[in-house]
Amino acid sequence: MTRPTQAKINLANLRHNYQFAKQTTGVACLAVVKADAYGHGAAAIGRALEQEVDGFAVGMLSEALELRQNGINKPVLLLQGAHERGEIGDIVANQLTMLIASDYQLAWALEAKIPEPIDVWIKYDTGMHRLGLSHSEVVRAINSLNNLPWVRSLTLMTHMACADEFNHPHTQGQLVLFQQLAQQFRLPVSIANSASLLSLPQTHGHIARPGLMLYGTSPLAYEHALASQLKAVMTLEASVIALHQVQSGESVGYGATWTAQRPSVIATLSVGYGDGYPRVTTCDSFVVIRGQRAPVAGRVSMDMMCVDVTDIKGVICGDVAECWGSQVPVAHVAQQAGTLAYETLAAMPARVPRVYTE
């Protein structure tokens, strides 16, 4: 008998979100599936999207090879490029899109005997100072690569540091720098991640890179009309595995941090922080059982958590609890834990089965 905890992945909602990104931008979109597709399962997500996507983006070579090994043949961009010289051969052999984001990556590419054409992206650091070339280094890279026989295409990209915040002055500064250089060379450009895609039409360029929004969550730090059209892809479900009558003054869980203020019914759920649910919660943390909110009661354990179902009639063992999904936004769960949906989704462990539905 299997443990009644699972992450249901709605592939129809995934496709809806991708098509929404396409319709919003009107340009090519690379589906970002790094970190195991933000915890959703990269191979399954890649197969589900392959027929309609323009391509994929991943963080590193191993993630790209996983897609190729699962029969996914669409273009795949390495968002960090090669980590060592020896990876250049694998990039070429698997027809991956090479990223040049450092002077040593440029040197490796120029020194390699690349036998067949591949696509190359150049990353311009416009102010995030995490990865990318300076203005002069970009100019040198473009001039070095532009006419080489193995360079099938060149694309210029950057990444926005503050696009999730409304009207942040740093965003405009980055855009000005990028546009000045882009106008000089007139290459295809890629700026927009999910936040830029939703809130900054001027960043749509030629190729967008939707990531978090594909999975139904807005990256924006404020409400936005477009973000409301996204559909949740993952639903984390658990079951009620025990019910306890708790008297007023009695406590629940490790540390006895929750004390009943009245005679209460406490349901134990088959999910804990070992399943990706945050250990840190607040008085606003809840799950949904039988269509009603059940507040979290006490500390979340590794394999279990308790919720207060006193006001929900008829709860029995075996009832399903939605820990996050369409009724409990994962962004809300993450916020109560003092983090972001990115981290909460990406931290989903392998022991939670992914169940894919249409």
* Active-site residue, from 34, 124, 277, 342: 34
* Cβ count near 40 (within 10 Å): 24
Binding-site residue positions: 130, 302
Active site residue 74: no
Contacts (Cβ under 8 Å, ≥6 apart) of 147: none
Active site residue 277: no
Are the C-beta atoms of 263 and 350 separated by less than 8 Å? no
* Active-site residue, from 38, 123, 124, 254: 254
Residue 137 CA from chain centroid, whole number: 30
Please classify residue 167 by burial: count the beta carbons closer than 10 Å to its beta carbon, then call 0-12 exposed, 13-18 middle and 19+ buried: exposed
AA letter at 149: P
Binding-site residue positions for substrate: 130, 302
Contacts (Cβ under 8 Å, ≥6 apart) of 22: 29
d(CA 229, CA 207): 21
Q: Among all chains, which residue has been given the structure tokens 């193995």?
A: 150
Return the active site residues: 34, 254
